Chains A and B, each alone.
Chain A
Amino acid sequence: MKEELSFEQVHLWTVHLDTDREELPISRHPFSHHELSRASSYKFEQLQTRFLMGRLRLRQILSLYTGCPIEQLEFTPGHGGKPLLKKYPKIRFSLSRSDGVQMVAVAYDREVGVDLEKLRNDDFGGVVARFFSPAEKASLQTVAGREMSEVFFRIWTRKEAYLKAMGVGLSYSLPAFTMSGRIGDTDALVHDDGGDCALTSWRVAEISAPAGFNAALAAAGKEWECHYCQFSL
């Protein structure tokens, strides 16, 4: 089966790394030296296994678009160190893992970024104070308790997805741009100090995530829609 990807679509795959596990092939694995050494640097078994399962799924998904066998896919650092497929530079993808769930966004010739976070109750006051924009802080002040942590996660995943799509990582100033905290927002980027052209050249949308998680997808341009794909072997 080969996945067809049109320019107007961003494909989104959600895979469960803990429950839908395959026995990892021992001697004939598809992983690169880089992937293996990354895996072995994780200190705990669960993290290692999740990482390798995640990479296996990523390779399986990408091979659906390229038709390339999973072990022959080669990655190379692209713009801002964001990985690209060496032989298929037009296929862009982004990956996010959180607590046993992984999301992979795939697009054709369009920068994408996805972020997935498991919801948890915590004190994010300091994170908000330091890394959120004034407008974001204001939107958090109007809510309390449980709702506040939901809004926090919505804004955080949107911010991170946006940074990942741009390929700038967290060295970009986080308080310099504003995301809306509205539920189900499909165009959440409200403001960017970097200039108004950012508002027209990127779109950040909430995407549906498994229960207990929150996720956001960012991609270049406005004219695209998110297509949810079902992963099966």
Chain B
Amino acid sequence: MSRGILGKKLGMTGMFTPEGRFVPVTVIEAGPCVVTQVKTKDTDGYDALQLGFGGKRKDRVNKPLQGHFRKSSDQCFRYLKEFSVANPGDYSLGQELTVEIFKTGDRGRWLEDGFLQVLGRCDGQVKINGFRVEIAEVESMILDLPYVGQAVVVLENGGAGNRGLVAYLTVNSEAVTSGDIRTALNDMLPGYMIPGSITVLSQLPLTSSGKVDRKALSNIKPVRRGPRPKSRKPNDCEKQLIAIWRSLLDVDVKSIDVRDNFFDLGGSSLLAAQMIDQVERFFATKLPLDTVWFQGGTIESLAALIGEKSPAVEVPSLVTIKEGPRLPLFVVHVRGGHLSDYYHLARCLSPEQSVIGLQARGIFNHEPLDSSVRSMAAYCIENMKRVQETGPYLIAGYSSGGTVAFEMARQLHERGESVAMLAMLDTFCPSTGSARRWKKAMARLVEGKTHDIRDAIYSAMMRCLRLDRLIKFRDPHSAHKWAFMNYNPRKYGHRVDLMLATDSIQRADDETLGWGRFLGDGCRVHKFVGDHVELIKYPRVTELARVLQERIDKVQARDGAS
């Protein structure tokens, strides 16, 4: 809606915007104006308001005009101006319009005759990917193209924060495609100002009053020609690469797409060198450093190269996360076989402390996947012994890795071996087969979520019929999920350090996250402010590392003394 008022220019000045930008400003004494006539379609054939502004002595006004003014008020005015409005019925004769009809952020335009017309809200100014974009500016740049007839740019909410500009336009020549327009705009506008979708129409839909019907436009479903097509889900190798990138780039794992370039996410050459080093550690595949520059540098292309380089991939089951002269701390893979959760933690431990990751069986190769916690633990023990033949061992596991670590320690004790430290980092006790699990599944069912009950019935049936050995798991994730779901922890009478996030304790409503009943007097709980993810990320991970290192130092001093 346009709003208008008459005013008098007083002069020029400048002022600072809240962002600290200096903008030139024209000072106008705007209004008050009085409605001197309301014209409607019925009476005059068109809708308009006549406004009067600037006082004038009565004796300077001629008789017919005096009569005209008398209809609305006692005042006479120097200036009279008509504005076309859509809703003249909202105004009455003699009504005073003041500057209050404007709001901060309205956009105005100088008319040729010196009047200021308000065009609409500055809502035309929108933020896209954090850049302030003036929609009208984009529109006018498109209109400046010689072959464009009409153009309208709108902001479309694609849902899930997927906001983007969409341009609809008509062109003078059939040969012009939206691609041509995009190319032309690329030279004129920064990338963030170029509409994600450009749709050429034979004509723009108009409202009855001859304006572009923006509502109708939004019903036209444009073909998305955004720069980033929706990408597929990553495979296992790519998931591991994403985990490596995340640990280096300080970006959210969800925001890494398999087709994102390493440098587009903020990578530098040093980070690229570190990344290639991590790839070598995880995949036992030596890629040249310049791969990152010259062969795509995306998760997808790296995964393809890794596959190419080692067709029968022999992935190390032991990953040296950190080197150091001291007895290694063994950390156990989490569900799905990732070790990247330990990067930050490892870096915050003492420089002398070495950290070795125990990988799961069958990740990235064709060995059968483990689908029970017992066999997962046995595999990890087997690998651990390749580094350190006998105990005492230092073992830690984060999240689901803690459950495997627990089972490892139990098996080691059973064999009469010694475990110096077992640390479970925010591990929820898998509530298996028990009434608790059914109770939880039922509660979820009441909420309308059938997932848990389905899983529970399925696993109970498979176990009853002894069919679980026959299940062929397609990926480590589902194999491990099955394993944790069907794990029954046994009693463990030795020292266990539970390092728990306060948020998790609150969620579980249990100081030990369910482990209490399996642990004896040796259970020690260390609490850390934050949630499950914060526990192992900067900056909070430093506290966890400090406590863990203290514990390691203590048991080693003790073992050394004895």
Max count, chain A CB within 10 A of own CB: residue among B19, B130, B190, B273: B190
How near does chain B come to A77, taking the closest CB pair, in angstroms? 14
- Is B311 part of the contact surface with A, judged by Cβ < 8 Å? no
Bound-state Cα–Cα, A26 to B133, Å: 8
- Is B158 part of the contact surface with A, judged by Cβ < 8 Å? no
> Are A130's CB and B192's CB within 8 A?
no
Q: Can you list, as one digit per residue, whether each of A114-140 has a CB less than 8 Å from chain B (1) or not (0)?
A: 000100011111110111000000000
Contacts of A37 in B (CB 8 A): 186, 191
**Chain B residue nearest to A41 in the complex (CB):** B264
* Contacts A26-B193, A125-B323, A170-B289 given; does A156 touch B129 at CB 8 Å: no
The contact size tier of chain B is 35 or more
* Contacts A27-B137, A48-B192 given; does A160 touch B186 at CB 8 Å: no
- Is B281 part of the contact surface with A, judged by Cβ < 8 Å? yes
**Chain B residue nearest to A39 in the complex (CB):** B191
> Are A27's CB and B130's CB within 8 A?
no
Residues of chain A from 34 to 76 with CB closer than 8 A to chain B in the complex: 36-37, 39-49, 52
Q: Which of A40, A43, A46, A47 contacts B190 (CB 8 A)?
A: A40
- Is A31 part of the contact surface with B, judged by Cβ < 8 Å? yes
- Is B131 part of the contact surface with A, judged by Cβ < 8 Å? yes
A interface secondary structure, majority: helix
**Chain B residue nearest to A45 in the complex (CB):** B130
Chain A: interface residue total (CB-CB under 8 A): 42
- Is B149 part of the contact surface with A, judged by Cβ < 8 Å? no
Contacts of B322 in A (CB 8 A): 123, 125
* Contacts A27-B188, A40-B191 given; does A122 touch B265 at CB 8 Å: no
Q: Can you list, as one digit per residue, whether each of A69-113 has a CB less than 8 Å from chain B (1) or not (0)?
A: 000000000000000000000000000001000000000000000
How near does chain A come to B261, taking the closest CB pair, in angstroms? 7
Bound-state Cα–Cα, A123 to B321, Å: 9
How near does chain A come to B264, taking the closest CB pair, in angstroms? 5
**Chain A residue nearest to B132 in the complex (CB):** A26
Contacts of B270 in A (CB 8 A): 117, 127, 156, 160
> Are B268's CB and A98's CB within 8 A?
yes
> Are A126's CB and B274's CB within 8 A?
yes
- Is B278 part of the contact surface with A, judged by Cβ < 8 Å? yes
> Are A36's CB and B293's CB within 8 A?
no
Bound-state Cα–Cα, A46 to B251, Å: 12
> Are A31's CB and B290's CB within 8 A?
no
Residues of chain B from 178 to 218 with CB closer than 8 A to chain A in the complex: 186-194
- Is A23 part of the contact surface with B, judged by Cβ < 8 Å? yes
- Is B153 part of the contact surface with A, judged by Cβ < 8 Å? no
Max count, chain B CB within 10 A of own CB: residue among A40, A117, A169: A40
Q: Which of A26, A123, A156, A174 contacts B137 (CB 8 A)?
A: A26
> Are B323's CB and A174's CB within 8 A?
no
Q: Which of A24, A36, A40, A126 contacts B281 (CB 8 A)?
A: A126
- Is A230 part of the contact surface with B, judged by Cβ < 8 Å? no
Bound-state Cα–Cα, A40 to B289, Å: 25
Contacts of B265 in A (CB 8 A): 43-44, 47
Bound-state Cα–Cα, A40 to B130, Å: 12
> Are A144's CB and B274's CB within 8 A?
no
- Is A2 part of the contact surface with B, judged by Cβ < 8 Å? no
Q: Can you list, as one digit per residue, whether each of B288-329 has a CB less than 8 Å from chain A (1) or not (0)?
A: 111001100000000000000000000000000111000000
> Are B264's CB and A121's CB within 8 A?
no
Bound-state Cα–Cα, A153 to B45, Å: 79
Bound-state Cα–Cα, A44 to B266, Å: 8
> Are A42's CB and B273's CB within 8 A?
no
**Chain B residue nearest to A24 in the complex (CB):** B190
Which residues of B approach A to under 8 Å, CB–CB? Answer: 19, 21, 129-131, 133-134, 137, 141, 186-194, 227, 251, 255, 260-261, 264-266, 268-270, 272-274, 276-278, 280-281, 288-290, 293-294, 321-323, 346-347, 351
- 15 A-B pairs within 8 Å (CB atoms) are namely A26-B193, A29-B190, A33-B186, A36-B186, A40-B192, A44-B265, A44-B266, A45-B130, A98-B268, A123-B346, A129-B277, A130-B277, A131-B273, A170-B273, A174-B289
> Known contacts A52-B190, A170-B272; can you find 4 more A-B pairs with CB under 8 A?
A39-B192, A40-B227, A43-B264, A126-B277
